[in-house]
Structure 1
C-alpha cells in the first residue's frame, strides 16, 4: 500500500494528465450541480457585476472577464451572452482551466491553463479554491498535530509526522485545534493560489465563491469529502470522484485590499436575483409569460436558498478601483484578521 499526504494525493487524483477527475470528458457537470448549471440567472448576475466593474473603472478600451476554474466554459459563455453588445465589443474573455478546450466554445474566448497577467476587469473564481489541493492534519491523543496520509487505492488514512514550520504557524493562526481527533485542513496552498490569481489583476475586482467557513465556525472534524454522479461519496483519491474541502476564506483574503465577505444569497440579491413569484394577475393576462416568470423565480430561489446554494460565501477584493455600487451595501469586513 502506497501512502501519501493528502495534498499530493489530491493533485494526482484531480489533475493528472492521464486520468485526473477534472480532465474526464464529461466535466464537472457530469457529477455535481453548481450555481452555473442551476440557472442562467447566475451568469446574468455576474454579467451585471461585470458592467458595474466596467463603470467603476471608467469604461476602459478593453476589459477582461477571467473565469477561473472554468469547467467547460459554461459561465464565461453565459456572461458573454448577457453583457450586451456595447460591453461585448470591448470584452476580453478568458477561461482558465487545466482540461482541454471544449468543442464549440466561442472562438473569441481565450482558453488557458494559467491566470493571465496585467489584466483589467473582473476575476471570478466559482468553486475553484475548494479544489486547490491541501494537506490535512489531525490532533492526536497527546495533543500533537500530525499530518494525515492516505492510500490512493482505498482512501484509508493514518497519522504521520508532526506538523511543523509554516503549516504549524498557519494552523495556530487560522485553525487552532484543541481536542483530540480534531482535524485541520491546512489552507496555506489556497491562500497562495488566490494571492497569485489576484496578483494577475492590474486593476479590477476579484471574487471567490465557495462553500466556506471563518474562524467563528471552523468545522471540528473538517469537511473533506467526495462527489461522483450527483452523490456525496467517500473521498478516495483514485481519480474516480471529486475530492473537495470547504475553504477558510478569511485566511485566503489578500491583505491590504478592500474586502467584503457575504453569503451568495445576499450577493445575488444585491445583483438583482430575487426569486419573487410573479403576480397572479399575469396568469390571466398572459399565461405563457406567467409560466416563464414562475420558472425563473424558482431558479432564482434555488440560487439564493440559505440551506443550499445561497449558503455559499463570496469574498470580493478590489484592486486599484472603487467598490462597485451593487456591493457597497453588503455586510462584511473591510479587513479580515484573526
Structure 2
C-alpha cells in the first residue's frame, strides 16, 4: 500500500529514523566536505577560535562546539592543532545523532544536542542543509505541499502548507508561477535560532550551500548523494538527502533571539581573511629545498580547493555573535 508523506517527514525518517542513513553510514564514504578535504580547514577554524578567545578576554574555559560533527574530524583536528596553552582551556563538544566514532580523542564530548551557555565558537559546517524541510509547489490555487512515496520517490500534491509556512514563503521564497517549487526553510531558522539561544558569549558560524532571496532557484535544490555522486533523492534511507539553505532567513532568526552582529559572506572571502590564499611557493625554493617546495605546493593546492569559487569557496558563511 502506498504511504504518502511530506518531504520533511520522509527525509527525517530516511536520514535519522531507525537504521537511517546517518545512523548507518560514514558520511565521508558518500560526499566530501571542506573538513574532510584538507586539515587546512581545521587550522583556519583554530585561527577563528583564537580570535574569539582574544575577544572574550582569554577565559579560563573556552568552548568549541562542532554541530553535525559526523565523524568528528573538525573537532579532533582543531584540538590536535591547538597550542598547549589554548588546548588546556578548551572544552570541545561534537554534536551529532550518530554513534561516537571509535578513534575520537577522549577530550571531545560527544552529544546529541548543543549544550546551554556556550562561551566560545560554534561551527555548523554543512549541518543546516541536512535539517529536513517541506517542499511546496505553486498551483492555480496557491502553494500546495509536495507529498512523496518513500519507497520510490514518486510525488503528488497534498494540502496547503500551514499558515506559518505560508508566511515564511511569502517573506523569504515567494513562488508565483504554476509549477515553481520552494523548500520551506522554517525548520532551519528554528534550528539556527536554538544555536544562537544557547550561545552565551562568542561567535556562531553556519557554512553551507546557500542562496538568498534575490536568487532562489525556481524549482528548488533537493538532491541525493550516494557513493560520491549525485542521485535522485529517494527518501528510503539509501542516500543522503540535502537542500541548499536560505542563510538570510536563518540570519534573521538569529537576530530575533539575540545575535548582536551578523555577517553574510562566502567561504572564499572568509578563508582568505583567515590566511588561506592558495598562493604557490616561489619556484626558486625547489632548488634549495625540494622537499619543502613539494610540501608547500601540495598545501597551496589544498588551499585553492577550499577557496575555489565554483566549489567549496562558493559556500555561504553566516557569522553571528553574542556578547
Same fold (TM over 0.5): yes
> What secondary structure does 1:199 align onto?
helix
Partner of 2:32: 33
Compute the displacement of 1:82 (Å): 1.6
Compute the displacement of 1:164 (Å): 3.5
Partner of 2:270: 267
The reply to whether residue 69 of structure 1 matches residue 61 of structure 2 is no
List structure 1 runs of 4+ shifted beyond 4 angstroms: none
Q: Deviations over 1:37-78 (max 9, x none)?
A: 110100000000000000000000000000000001000001
Partner of 2:104: 105
The reply to whether residue 300 of structure 1 matches residue 303 of structure 2 is yes
Compute the displacement of 1:163 (Å): 2.1
Partner of 1:238: 236
Structure 1 residue runs of 5 or longer lacking an equivalent are: 321-338
Distance, in Å, in 1 between the alignment partners of 2:227 and 2:297 is 29
Corresponding residue to 1:210 among 204, 208, 211: 208
Distance, in Å, in 2 between the alignment partners of 1:160 and 1:269 is 46
Compute the displacement of 1:182 (Å): 0.7
Contact residue 51 and residue 83 of structure 1 kept, 8 A: no
Distance, in Å, in 2 between the alignment partners of 1:95 and 1:164 is 34
Distance, in Å, in 1 between the alignment partners of 2:13 and 2:192 is 20
Contact residue 210 and residue 313 of structure 1 kept, 8 A: yes
Distance, in Å, in 1 between the alignment partners of 2:132 and 2:6 is 10
Backbone CA RMSD of aligned residues: 0.8
TM-score (norm 2): 0.97
The reply to whether residue 23 of structure 1 matches residue 26 of structure 2 is no
Distance, in Å, in 2 between the alignment partners of 1:222 and 1:316 is 24
Partner of 2:294: 291
The reply to whether residue 276 of structure 1 matches residue 279 of structure 2 is yes
> What secondary structure does 2:158 align onto?
strand
> What secondary structure does 1:100 align onto?
coil
Compute the displacement of 1:316 (Å): 0.1
Corresponding residue to 1:226 among 224, 227, 230: 224
TM-score (norm 1): 0.93
Compute the displacement of 1:104 (Å): 1.5
Distance, in Å, in 2 between the alignment partners of 1:47 and 1:179 is 46
> What secondary structure does 2:236 align onto?
coil
Structure 2 residue runs of 5 or longer lacking an equivalent are: none
Q: Deviations over 1:187-224 (max 9, x none)?
A: 11110011011211110100000000011110100000
Partner of 1:169: 167
Q: Deviations over 1:247-280 (max 9, x none)?
A: 0000011125210000000000001111011000
Distance, in Å, in 1 between the alignment partners of 2:130 and 2:111 is 18
